[in-house]
Amino acid sequence: MQPFVIKQAEFVTSVGAGSAYPPPERAEIAIVGKSNVGKSSLINHLCGNKKLAKTSQTPGKTRLINFFLLNRDFYLVDLPGYGFARASKTEQAEWGSLMEQYLSSGRVQHLFLLIDIRHAPTAEDRQMFEWVLYYGLPFTLIATKADKIAKSKRRQAANQAAKLLGAPPAAIPYSSESGDGKEAVLERIGQILQDRENKA
Measure Cα distances from 193 to 61, 119, 175 in Å: 29, 31, 23
CA–CA distance from 171 to each of 43, 104, 129, 143, 195 (Å)?
18, 24, 13, 6, 20
Reading phi first (left if > 0) and then psi (alpha if -120 to 50, else beta), residue 113 is in: beta
Structural domains in the chain, sorted by start? 9-15+25-199 (3.40.50.300)
Contact of 55 with 41, CB cutoff 8 Å? yes
User: Could you write out the DSSP letters of every residue in 146-165?
Assistant: GGGS-GGGHHHHHHHHHHHH
Q: What percent of the chain has pLDDT over 90?
A: 62
Reported as a single tens digit per residue, the pLDDT across 82-112 is 876 566 677 667 777 888 889 888 999 999 9
Instruction: Give the pLDDT of residue 182.
Output: 96
Give one word for 152, left, alpha or beta, with left for phi > 0 and alpha for psi -120 to 50.
alpha
- This prediction has a pTM of 0.91
Mean pLDDT in residue range 51-74: 78
